[in-house]
Amino acid sequence: MTTSTDRAPATGQTRWAWRVDPPDGWLVVPSAVTEDHEDVATWEREATAAVRASLEPQPGDDGEPAELDDAARSALDRAAAESVASLREFADGMAPAGHRVAAAVGVLGRGPVPVLVAVGVSDPAEPDDGLMAALGATGGYPAAPPDIEYLDLPDGDGVRVVRLDVGEVTGGAWMSVCLGRRTEHPDAVVDTVLVWRTQDLLLGAAMVELLDELLPAVRITRGGT
């Protein structure tokens, strides 16, 4: 499910456009702030069906599907609808800043896992110096120094940051996995940032691989002048 193209900030006379072409197992969440309400409603129906299917219990050792009573099925129906509503709320909150939300579906039996997607464009004479901070490489109070890995990507320079923080209020552990890409053009520096954060620490390894899968799906093009 692909949403409409977004505009990135302009540099000089050039405008940039970007979109997310979701890989299999991903949803791109529309926002009512920027998109047609009928399109959003259609997406909600399709997304709810996809999430509901992903929540279906796996077959047992004998290969037979698990039997669910009416109450259990109703509970899964509600869980799917509520998770889609939560994704939409998140997307609406991010849209005014020009950000998108994508969600991985069917990860280790969980509900959809949301990821923030952001694109920024800066002048090569004064490139944005906030990329590392946006990825969580600096700032805050991590429980240990963040794990920073530099990647050689086909379309730019990549950085992966994995860090663990302790919540100031609850004291619980928070993990974040962030992936960035910087592509340098003669007239612009284009940064792509993916951010995922959770207290479900068991998802960490899976999300590292899934963000690697999502990043190439964020496609950035010149959008005219």
pLDDT tens-digit map of 103-141: 999 999 999 999 999 999 999 988 888 999 999 999 888
Q: Domain spans of the chain?
A: 14-224
On whether the CB atoms of residues 100 and 91 are closer than 8 A, the answer is: yes
Judged by average pLDDT, the poorest of 2-16, 82-96, 174-188 is 2-16
Secondary structure (3-state) at 163? strand
Using the predicted structure, report yes or no on whether residue 7 has a pLDDT greater than 80: no
Contacts of 42 (CB under 8 A, 6+ apart): none
What's the pLDDT at 68? 82
Looking at the predicted structure, is the pLDDT value of residue 211 above 60? yes
Q: Record the pTM.
A: 0.89
Evaluate if residue 5 carries a pLDDT over 90: no
Element (H, E) at 64: none
The model's pLDDT over 152-166, given as tens digits with 9 standing for 90+, comes to: 999 999 999 999 998
E-assigned strand segments in the chain: 6-11, 14-20, 26-29, 100-104, 113-122, 147-153, 156-166, 173-185, 188-198, 218-224
